Amino acid sequence: MKLNPLAASTTHPPTEAMRNAVTLAPMTPDQLDAVMAIEQTAYSHPWTRGNFRDSLNPLFEAQCLWYEDELLGYFLAMRGFEEMHLLNITVAPVRQGQGWGHMMMDALSLLSRHEGAQWLWLEVRQSNLRALKVYERYGFRQVSIRKDYYPADRQQREHAVVMSLKL
């Protein structure tokens, strides 16, 4: 498997043929290099390899979205009683704005319903306005704020917005 983020172009939206050719498959330990390459370019405070490795167990839903051998994105969610908690959803920066995140949210919603979940939950940085808008457009509603939840620059903390979606 190879990952070449520079080969992708954000100026050309994906074709219908490309959309029809993507696959969603469980994340495996041998894919963590590709996942980490995206994670480290997408976030100022990325997850660690250990975070991902620990999430590769039956309590979690860890999926990768592929187009041929290009990793477009991934999501990780934790199962709960009648709920699913989205922990991480990331689209490769060179592929953002092309609908892949929405496609993964659709897949997560379907998987959650299949598991018997009634609700989908998430936290998002209060400063991540782009993600907040995406989640709101998808139907999530703000439930509360978790104060000082995320690490921020210079040993400071940032609030998290807690959101939920009734499935």
Residues annotated as catalytic (active site), given as ranges: 123, 135
Residue type for position 87 = L
Q: How far apart are CA 54 and CA 123, in angstroms?
A: 19
Helix (H, G, I), strand (E, B) or coil at 86: strand
Q: Is 113 left (phi over 0), alpha (psi -120 to 50) or beta?
A: alpha
- Cβ–Cβ under 8 Å, residues 74 and 27: yes
Q: How far apart are CA 44 and CA 161, in angstroms?
A: 18
Q: How far apart are CA 151 and CA 149, in angstroms?
A: 7
Any idea which residue has 């439930």 for tokens?
A: 143
